Structure formats: structure tokens, C-alpha cells
Amino acid sequence: MERAYAWLYRRVGRRYLEVLTAIDLLSALAIAWGTVAILGLYVDMSGAEFIRIVFAAELCILVAFVYGVWSLRRQVMPLRRWVAGERVGVDPTAAWQAAVALPFQLVRHAEKRAIVLVAVPVSAFATAELGLPFYSFFFVLLAALVAIAYSAILHFFAGETALSPVVRELAHVLPADTPPARVGVPLQWKLLGAIPLINVITGVVVSGLSAGDHSSLAGLGLSVVVAVVVAFTLSLELTVLVSRSVLRPVRDLMDATERVRRGDFSARVPVTSGDELGTLALSFNQMMRGVSEREALHDAFASYVDPQLAQRVLDGGPHIEGQEAEVTLAFVDIRDFTTFAEGASAREAVAYVNEFLEIVVPIVTGHGGHPNKFIGDGLLAVFGAPVALPDHADRAVAAAAEMAATVRERCGDRLRIGVGLSSGPVLAGTVGGGGKLDFTVIGDAVNVAARVEEVTRATGDTVLITEATRALVSNGALPLEPRGAISLKGRNDPVRIYALVETHGQIVQTRTRATSGMRSGR
């Protein structure tokens, strides 16, 4: 059936809902014809009487059906617009919810209308048409109510199947963060509602066929009552057991899925059966083992690589195509590390560098920067790649100021650093070969940042920034002192630089040496 409806959806396209409406109406008319035929098993009626009763029933059904379609027009509007081919201005989530909820909405509203507009008037007409005693109306009404319940269940499941091609299409375009919404009927009530009703219909039909000439209208009423009693007493236990057999694994899977949604990747589903649900549980557990391994790899990977880059690689693959980006680079280095290393053991030197990195790396990442490379006792940090940042200069300056203040507060004179900031265009992407790749930034701004950091040794400043960075900083009151225009190795034109000065401990400047040899641009 699903394949047939999928084919029909492809064939009729935007007229699909109208075609489904016509099919729904025809099936309701067919059920009315069958219900009157079942009534004929218990009551003698001529062909003319049969036709008149069927005509009356189908006329009432047509009225109830038209009213029902009209009353649901607003609720199905998002779905109708989607099927009609409208994509602009149509919320896929609203259309999906309308498609999933429509079968239940049809049944919920149709039952009340069917009782008032179909069951009661048709039962009265049939009683009068067949010349039955007035109390026979209640027997006929009882049979009509069973037929309505059967029609409701049938149309509900048929509606779910008929709308499945549209629901599947919408599911592919739903936003990934769409919250779960229970707009349909829970599986438990589908089972507990459908199975007993099947027993009732079967009992009524079998009773009428087996009684033959001895059947009567009173027998019809008795058959309905007995079938209902049996369905909801003797067979109820079997119905509940079947429901639990299906629902228990489903609920286990739902619980495990909710745990995973909250971040518990150790969640597993107990495999309690050897059927398709057991296979589903096994598949879920195998999938979660893979997810756990991926998460462990992500955590381990993030220990060696910046989390921004790790996520970018996991999402898009290891090759990040080189792109030009506007960034600010911060080159951070330990002052006088060579002198320290000469008199220290290898273990002490590594511990010294690690102490330095434990301070500066969290500050860089905290301001949205990317710790790109550890170069000996130094760090190259990038603000603006691999994730673009429109305020990269502001972030870099704030990070540099915090580094200077934090190092001074925690380490005093025991650990001193120099920071050089430069802004400009770079080429950011992966380079490498032989199975080894590295994310890097290439450009003149990288070299300038390294050279400016070297100048801090001559000026005694903790943080120096270039004119290019100063021009991008949004804070016009940034405490800066010009250090003139300096010649940098590898550049023909001098670069104007500025020092961040201390302001209430927020931005640190350490002047311990003279600036002799600096070429002033003032």
C-alpha cells in the first residue's frame, strides 16, 4: 500500500490531497453499503428497501463528510500548501505536524459528526423503512455505532499509510533541532483500540452468517453486546499482552534515545526478543558503540587540536580548502627562555612551558581564538579562522591584555611574556602530505606578528600591536602609547606599532628597557 500511495503521489502531485479525499469518501460509502448488508443478515429486506436505506446512509455520509472537510481546512493549510508545491513561506515543521496529526484529527471530529449526522438519522430511517417496532431503533443504532467505530479505525490507519509519502518527504527537510512533538496517537492506544474492535466486527459478522434463517434484529443486538463484552474481557488480557510485547522494547529504545539526547553515550537497549524489535535493539547498541568511539576520538582529538578545528574536521572531513580570511594574529612567547633552559633540566623546561601554556591557551579559546601552533616556548594564536569573527581584532586585544594581567598576577617576575599582534588577510587551510595534514595560516600578517613579538624584547613592553590592528579595534579609548615606526625583517616599509599600557590592572605594560635604536614615526 505504501508503494502504491508513493506512486500515486508522484503521479498526481499537487492534487494528491484531493485524490485522497475522494478515496476516503468512496471508502466511507462502501462501508455504509457493507453495514446495511450486515443488517440484512439479521432482518429480512427487499432489494428496493436495501437500496433506499443505502441511499439514505450515503446521503447522510456525504453531508457529514463535506462538513468535516470544511471544518479542518485551516488545520491542514500548511500541508495543503506544501503538497501544492509552495516552498516559500511554508514552515516544513508545521506541514509535517499537520500531516502526522491529520488522521487522528479526521477520526476525532468525524466520530461525533457521524453519530449525529449519520448513525441516528439512518437508524431511524431504517427502522421506519423496514416497519420495525420503535425499540428496534436502538438495536440498529448499536450496530451503526460499531460500524462507525470500525470506519474510524480503518480510516485512521489508511490515512497514516496514504500520507506517509508526504510525511517522508517533509522529514527530509525538517530542521535538525526540531523538538519532538507527539501530535499523533500513541502506539499503545492504536493496539488497544484496533484489536478489540476487530474482534467485535468479526463476532457480529460470524454470528449473522452462522445463524442463517434464525437470525433476528434482537440477535443482532445480542451479538454486538456479546462481542463487545468478550473483546474487552476474555480477549482483553491477550490484547494487553500483545501490546506490552510490542511496547516494552519500544519504550526501552525511547528511554535510551532520551539518555543519548542528554549526552549519555553509554546508553544501551536490553535485547529481550529475537524478532524485528530485537534486531532493532541490536542495531541501536552497535550504533551507540560507534558513536561512543567517535566521541572518545573527538575528546582525544580535541586534546591535541583546538575544539573549533576538531569539530570542523569531524563535520567536513580532514581537508579544509584554503580560503582567504581577515584575521588578527597573536604571537606569544616566553621572555628569556633560552637562558632559563640552559640551567634547567629537560623536565623542568617542559614543566615551565606547560605552565605558560596552561595560562594562555584557555584565554585564547575563551576569547574565540584558535591556538594554531606551539612553536618551542611560543604560541601562534589566530582570531578569525577557521571560524570567521567580525570582531577578531577586539577579541585578540582583549585576550592579549588578559594574558599579560594573568601571567603577572600568577607568576610575578618568575614568568614573563611578550605578545605581538598583527591584522591582515591570510590564506587559511590545510597543508601537508604523506598522510600528515596541518591547519595553518599563511600571509604577511603572520610574519609581522612574529617580528613584532621580537620587538617587545627591545621595548620592554608586554603587548605590542600594529597600526593595522589598532585601526580595527572598536574601542576608541584603548590605552595605547605609540612606539614609532619600526623596520621589520623581510619588509621594505616600516610598521607603526603601539604598546598597551596599564589601566587599573586591566591592560599591562612592562617597561624595563630603553627604546634606543627605535625609529620614531612621529
Q: Indicate the SS3 state at residue 44.
A: coil
Cell triple for 403 = 594574558
Kindly report, residue by residue over 191-243, the tens digit of the pLDDT. Answer: 666 666 666 666 666 665 555 554 555 666 666 676 666 666 656 666 666 66
Kindly report, residue by residue over 424-435, the tens digit of the pLDDT. Answer: 999 887 766 655
Mean pLDDT of the region 411-423:
89
Q: Which helix (H) or strand (E) holds 190?
A: helix 187-211
Kindly report, residue by residue over 439-493, the tens digit of the pLDDT. Answer: 778 888 999 999 999 999 888 899 999 999 999 998 777 888 898 888 877 677 8
Pairing outcome for strands 417-433 and 463-466: parallel
Across 237-260, b (16+ Cβ under 10 Å) vs e yields eebeeebeebbebeebbeebeeeb
What's residue 496's pLDDT? Answer: 92
What are the φ/ψ torsions at residue 502 (nearest 5 degrees)?
A: -75, 130
What's residue 519's pLDDT? Answer: 35
Share of the chain above pLDDT 70, in %: 75
Q: Is the dihedral of CA 363, 367, 369, 370 positive or negative?
A: positive
CA distance 243 to 260: 26
What's residue 328's pLDDT? Answer: 96
Kindly report, residue by residue over 242-271, the tens digit of the pLDDT. Answer: 667 777 778 888 888 888 888 888 888 887
Amino acid at 353: V
Whether 375 has a pLDDT exceeding 60, the answer reads yes
Q: Mean pLDDT, the chain, as a whole number?
A: 79
CA distance 320 to 468: 27
pLDDT band at 517 (very low <50, low <70, confident <90, very high): very low
How are the residues of the chain apportioned to helix, strand and coil, as percentages rounded to the nearest 5?
65, 10, 25
DSSP notation for 475-505: -TT--EEEEEEE--TT-SS-EEEEEE--STT
Q: How far is CA 74 from CA 14, 17, 100, 458, in A?
A: 18, 14, 15, 75
Amino acid at 277: L
Kindly report, residue by residue over 310-345, the tens digit of the pLDDT. Answer: 566 656 555 566 678 899 999 999 887 877 777 788
Q: Which residues make Cβ contacts (< 8 Å) with residue 464, sequence separation at least 6?
A: 418, 419, 420, 421, 452, 453, 455, 456, 483, 497, 498, 499, 500
Across 150-173, b (16+ Cβ under 10 Å) vs e yields bbbbbbbebbbebbbbbeebbeee
pTM exceeds 0.75 for this model: no
pLDDT band at 512 (very low <50, low <70, confident <90, very high): very low
Whether 498 has a pLDDT exceeding 90, the answer reads yes
Mean pLDDT of the region 146-170:
82
Kindly report, residue by residue over 110-156, the tens digit of the pLDDT. Answer: 777 888 888 899 989 988 988 888 888 888 888 788 788 777 777 77
